Amino acid sequence: MFPPLFIIFYRAFTHFLNLFTWIIFVIRSMRKKEEWIRKKERFGIVDIFDKADNYIWFHAASVGELLSIKPLVQKLLNENYDILITTTTVSSANLFKKVFPDSVKHQYIPYDTPKYTKRFLNRLNIELAIFVESEIWPNFIMECKKRNIPLLLINARFSDKSFQYWGYAKKSLNYLLGSFKFILPQNTKTHNWFKKLGYENIEFLGNIKHDAEKLEINNDKLEALKKSISNKKIILAASTHHGEEEIIFSLFNKLKLEEDNLILIIAPRHPERAEFISDLAIKKCFKSKQIKFLSKNDEISYETKFIIYDKIGELGELYTLADFVILGGAFKSHGGHNPFEPAKFSIPIFTGPNFYNFEDDYKNLFEVEGAIKFTEDSFIKLYKDKNRLITMGKNAERCVKKFGGATEDIFNIIEGIKTNGY
């Protein structure tokens, strides 16, 4: 099938982009969005793998996608498959080291240009390529197709904006998605949208994030945190993005007028924003001596009012300690974050209005009152009601247990492709 005009233009543009990728990399590196020491990987250079190995290759762009595939990867490792995982973000690369064994290989995904994708695939023997969620990279897809590498798109999701964008390029989308053996949506909206477009290689199995393991807890860190915070009331905001901390600071300012025995903990989605958040906190409601950083091992004292949890992978202790969580990503247009992750800790969830990436999950949580839409008034009313918060947390945990099983189904599909080719 001859590629649509948009795909031809994209390949030509990305070929031209080769001239500027070093500049792009340097700029991103200065903004701490790239690792200079691993720069070769972003240009398709692979020198840490044995070409003789036959890899199942996962691309999981960021932290959420990476955590979601852990149970599936473990099942494949149990069957002695060789696994390669690529990610995009520095935070996901750092997390990888903590959650996967040494037998699983990691590389930053190269920039999606014809030159770098060919270089990457030439160096590796890939038996199966699995893209997670909304990762549709035309050059990688086309190169895999040329090499007869089977493609899967698992836990696929598209936002309303994505639907609108691809609506202007339906032929190109058809061309790209038609290259996948199976497309496995994570929610009913994405599934129904694909069905309306006439795709036949679609199967709705559920969201693999429901099968993700409960976040690990370091008991020593948990006990130390309990001891240092003592009997103070905790306001926890997790996975916040730019523009969302202001909302949290405004809330804290109102609450501290009623009582002084409060401590705010913010765990930003991107820890490299910690200094910016600290500066903002000083402008809005804190003195510098009241602010502590997890990464600096700052000692928490009686005058501490604000802790910045600027490390990846340590939310388990916070979800265990806190009475509730204000979950970020939904107060601005980021689509929200996985609410089932904190729900597994029997903790009630407050969310902003823009949770479109997890619409099904929030709908289920709202129905059992395991989560609630945030307003300052609703929060102030509820956060004092300890019994209701406990009930909400239990409701959230029970809701999680109702769903699951997608990981096992996807594993069976992978086994079928590898053994029978279907």
Q: How far is CA 201 from the centre of its chain?
A: 25
Q: How much helix, strand and coil, in percent to the nearest 5, is found in the chain? A: 50, 15, 35
What are 271's two structure tokens?
Answer: 């820890």
Helices 188-196 and 359-367: angle between axes, nearest 10 degrees: 130
How far apart CA 415 and CA 329 sit, in angstroms, is 35
Domain ranges of the chain: 46-204, 219-401
CA distance 146 to 148: 6
Residue 202 carries which DSSP code?
A: B
DSSP per position, 30-72 = HTTSS-GGGGGGGGT---SS-TTSEEEEEE--SHHHHHHTHHH
pLDDT tens series, the chain, 422 aa: 678 888 899 999 999 999 999 999 999 999 889 999 999 999 999 877 665 578 999 999 988 899 899 999 999 999 999 999 999 999 899 989 889 999 999 999 999 999 999 999 999 999 999 999 988 899 999 999 999 999 999 999 877 777 777 777 778 888 888 899 999 998 888 888 888 777 778 888 989 988 888 888 888 888 888 888 878 888 999 999 999 999 999 999 998 877 778 899 999 998 889 999 999 999 999 999 999 998 787 788 888 899 999 887 778 999 999 889 999 999 998 889 999 999 999 999 999 999 988 888 999 999 999 999 999 988 988 888 989 999 999 999 999 888 888 999 999 999 998 877 65
Judged on CB neighbours under 10 Å (0-12, 13-18, 19+), 239 is: buried
- Determine the Cα–Cα distance for residues 81 and 56; give it in Å rounded to an integer: 7
* 86/182 Cα distance (integer angstroms): 20
Task: Find out whether 255 and 262 touch, Cβ atoms under 8 Å.
Answer: yes
Show the DSSP H helices in 32-169 as ranges: 63-68, 70-78, 90-99, 114-123, 138-146, 160-167
Contact between 345 and 320 (Cβ < 8 Å): yes
User: Which residues are catalytic, by number?
Assistant: 65
CATH of domain 46-204: 3.40.50.11720
| Rounded CA separation 19/280 (Å) | 38
Identical fold, 46-204 and 219-401: yes
Angle at Cα 92 formed by Cα 86 and Cα 96, nearest 5°?
75
The Cα–Cα gap between 86 and 38 comes to 13
- Phi and psi of 157, rounded to 5°? -145, 145
Question: Whole-model pTM?
Answer: 0.79
13 alpha-carbon distance from chain centroid:
29
CATH number of 219-401: 3.40.50.2000
